[in-house]
A and B are shown apart, each in its own frame.
Chain A
Amino acid sequence: MAENYKEYLAAKVLTDGRPVTYRLLSRALKTNVNVAKSMLYDFYTKQNAKKPKSVHATYILVGRKREAEQTHGANGSHKNGEDSFMHSSPFMSSLPEPEAEPVDEEAAQKTTMVLVREEELEATKAEFEEITSTHIYSLEPGPIENLNVLSVCNQEIATKYSSGDPLERWKHYGSIHNPYIKRRTAKFAPPPAAAASASKAPAKPTAAMSAKEKEKAGLERRGSVSDANTLGRSTPQPTSASNTIKKSDSKPSLKRDKSDIFKSFAKSKPKAKEAEKSKESTPAPAADEPMQAMSEDEGEDDTPVVQVDQEQQEAARRKRQERQDKLRKMMDEPEDEEMPDAPSEEENDSQDAAIDKIPVPKPTQSESALTSQGGRRRGRRKVMKKKTVKDEEGYLVTKEEAVWESFSEDEPEPKKPKPTPKPMSAAKGKNGGKKAQGSIANFFKKA
């Protein structure tokens, strides 16, 4: 037990003339707060026995105030002591609860903690009905005018004694120990990226799909506008990702300039091939396939036959080839030759791959409430949606309706999703480029 409290207090209070609270004392001496409170009392009595009025004290009173005094106190005049109490009590009792909700308020038990100087101690005590504890809060060399000066002690604690593990404080100072609190020690640890990436994944496939779909629509529309676009049309497969990449890259350049076209081909082809390769080489994930299949809504590819025989494929390819040839002739551009070929092949391959692997249960899948496939859970759920419609009389009616909504969410999944993000971003970039391009083409046409 620290016996040097006398020196500390003497130095601080008597010599420096500064206030010392029990809390500051306990921090300075690394002792329990309750011991510190007793030390203050010990020092206070002994010093004042030696030399009266040499040390001044403030006290803490904890307890229950008398009811009448309590309401009176709440009205403002707190410190008038017994005098005002005498006045107020008959006054209060004569008026039966002028307050609006006295019942609500009185039902609660009220504990008051008062910080008071020794001069007002006795008067304040008289206001209490029951005092559950009293102790010295602080010692200072003489009477203080404003209690707020005591806050310097807490500031001193914050600046001088804040080192050390805060979770160990209770051992030294006897505050309440909370065994459940945890504290991070790593101050600026980088946040784990896993959570963020995981949450993002499910959004991607749908985005990709919609982008593709939009693109398709855009293609069709534009095709009728300008014949330059027929090139785009020439690739009859609107769906496969590698295909779309090509289209986007090549088309804009075509329109602009011929020399450009070569450049763009040189660039775009490897890219497309790469994309393709990655698709083919990695045994195309089951999880992916349904995605692609679902986005295909052209009749051609719709038949979800598991085993498409070679003949059929061949026929399809030939048909496509023919169409492309026709288109090429129309375009009458020799440079084009490479273009339609390359994409068509790639596209066919990827297309076939997709067809091959379409799982038989695919159609039913969307029906079922929940299926788990290749690590991705997809299904439909019922959600309440607000719907505002105009009824036959022309009024707006807002209704809550149960709607089936399809969803898919990722389960911990390995490499699979790789191919999907690629087409997505590609499609996106293309989309933007194409739109701008289209308008420019139109501009030139008119001009």
Chain B
Amino acid sequence: MASADTSLLRGAPFDDPAYLPSRIPSAYNPLHTFELPKGAEKHYHQQYADLYFLRLAQLKKAVKQRAEEAWGDFTLGDEKARMVDRVLDVRQGELCWVVGTVYMELGLKPNILDDIAKEHWIAAPPLRETYTSQSGHDGMMLEDESGRLRVFGESLSSTSVTGCVLAALGTEQSDGTFQVIATQYADLPRQPQRWERDDSELAMQKQNPPKRERSGKIAIVSGLDMTGADDDDLSLGLLVEYLTGELGGPPDQSKASRLSRLIIAGNSLSHASPILSRDDFNAKKAGKRHYGYDASSYDPAPTERLDQFLADILPTIPITLLPGETDPANVALPQQQLHPALFSQSRQYANPPAQSNESREGLDSVTNPWEGDIEGYRVLGTGGQTVTDLLKYVEDVNVLDVMEMMLRWRCVAPTAPDTLWCYPFQDDDPMLVKDCPHIYFAGNQKKFAKRVIVGPADQQVLLVSVPKFSETRCVVLVDMETMGVEVVKIALMQPKS
């Protein structure tokens, strides 16, 4: 037997056990950036074109500035690079640079016209591993309000996707395409200081910032994928026991008390999206047709299991719950909060929605994407659809590269109106990153990874790719003082059959 923990492998007499240290407080100040207007204020009749125009208008200044810094005195031969306002103003043979939104023409990208032609429009388009086709039909274009410009070039990074705003330097060739020598993006925006928002709020109330103790860690988990079946019960049970500090011996239990918050980053339920995937749809169509209430079409078990799961954890640790692709929220980004009616037990730990739209202690059901301040640091997180979708545009690029590029493009969901469902924003696009986060996580990825990226003004951002719990049984811990990342893995050593 191991030596460190004989205390629990020991018989009578039993000592009175010491109580574990109490849970450390969670300084939590969520933002409501991604909340859509309520009820009748929500409109879906706008055109998506505005979203692209808006994105370009808001990012143009930053991109232009970056490009000016980089290419202000760029000369090729004796020709000086010149900025051109519109993509259609590019003249043949002239060295110039222009700012525009990228549009990728990819062979396998879902096309609504194709879908209608095939009369497959009722269900979601089939899942594709990638949008790029091998047939060489893929192309890249730069567009603004005036028109589109076909671009190509060795230096074009393979990471460009539809919707990102770039400045491209090059010349137009005789066939009308624009050969690109170099590109520039907006790069990371300003990063708020730690505790900036909390302190300014306190200053408004004429209070001095309190003395803050050393912060603990946050735990991020995603892809619980509850099905209501018994198979995953044991590992979920172990996760509960770990978070409540029941599992393990005193040293490990004390470590668990340093966790100040649990973030669930999407896909808590596995088959609950209101829009069926094509497979589910076909399966359903093949089945028998029922009239009236069909008990087989709605299974409350997964929801109850999730509610139970949350209610087991909530007495000891506050939770921030993001919806994900398969959760019963709206499907268009930004996904809105999971409805409290789903959580008959756990919603007692949340403020009633009529009273307040946030619960700083207890269960906070938030949007996806979501941003907020945890322990003074700005945290931005998504359920992972944005990353997964972006990965379909590019090859040989990993999750962290994609996440890094999103921040550098200053857009959390560049592919949003193109291949991701999205609310048609008109006057403001919350998907644009206005404040650089300190931590950016994406849920439901294949495996765990992390990286620290550095911006032009010394912004440091920790990127975390959070794996699916249902596949990897991993929980990611982030130390909010040191930004250190740990992984806790729960394993079942199933007997060999």
Contacts and interface: CB of A to CB of B under 8 A. Distances in A.
Interface of A: 1, 22-23, 26, 32-35, 37-39, 41-42, 45-46, 60, 62, 73, 78-79, 100-101, 104-105, 107-117, 119-120, 124-125, 131-136, 143-148, 150-151, 154-155, 158, 166-167, 169-170, 173-185, 187, 189, 191-193, 195-196, 385-386, 388, 395-400
Given A143-B495, A175-B246, A34 B17 contact: yes
11 contacts: A34-B8, A37-B8, A41-B10, A104-B449, A117-B493, A135-B249, A177-B20, A177-B316, A180-B23, A189-B352, A400-B58
Given A115-B234, A180-B23, A396-B146, A45 B11 contact: yes
Report the contact-size class of chain B (Cβ under 8 Å from the partner).
Answer: 35 or more
B89 to A, nearest CB: 9
A317 to B, nearest CB: 42
B427 A180 contact: no
Contacts of B230: 148, 151
B427 A385 contact: yes
B292 interface: no
Given A174-B20, A396-B145, A398-B56, A132 B487 contact: no
B195 interface: no
A432 B490 CA distance: 65
Interface string B223-250: 0000000110110011011101111111
Contacts of B237: 150-151, 154
Contacts of B238: 113, 115
- Decide if the interface of chain A is mainly helix, strand, loop or mixed: mixed
Given A180-B25, A180-B361, 12 more contacts: A110-B487, A112-B489, A112-B490, A131-B2, A133-B248, A133-B250, A135-B249, A176-B21, A181-B316, A183-B362, A396-B145, A398-B53
Contact of B22 (A124, A177, A196): A177
A154 B449 CA distance: 32
Interface of B: 1-2, 4-5, 7-12, 14, 16-17, 19-23, 25-26, 50, 53-54, 56-58, 86, 88, 145-146, 230-231, 233-234, 237-238, 240-242, 244-253, 256-257, 308, 311-312, 314-318, 348-349, 352-355, 361-362, 398, 400, 426-427, 447-451, 484-497
A35 B17 contact: yes
A167 B491 contact: no
B216 to A, nearest CB: 11
A302 B312 CA distance: 67
B399 to A, nearest CB: 9
Contact of B14 (A38, A167, A180): A38
Contacts of A166: 311, 314-315
A135 B234 contact: no
A23 B25 CA distance: 26
A395 B89 CA distance: 11
A122 B210 CA distance: 50
A131 B9 CA distance: 14
Nearest to A44: B11
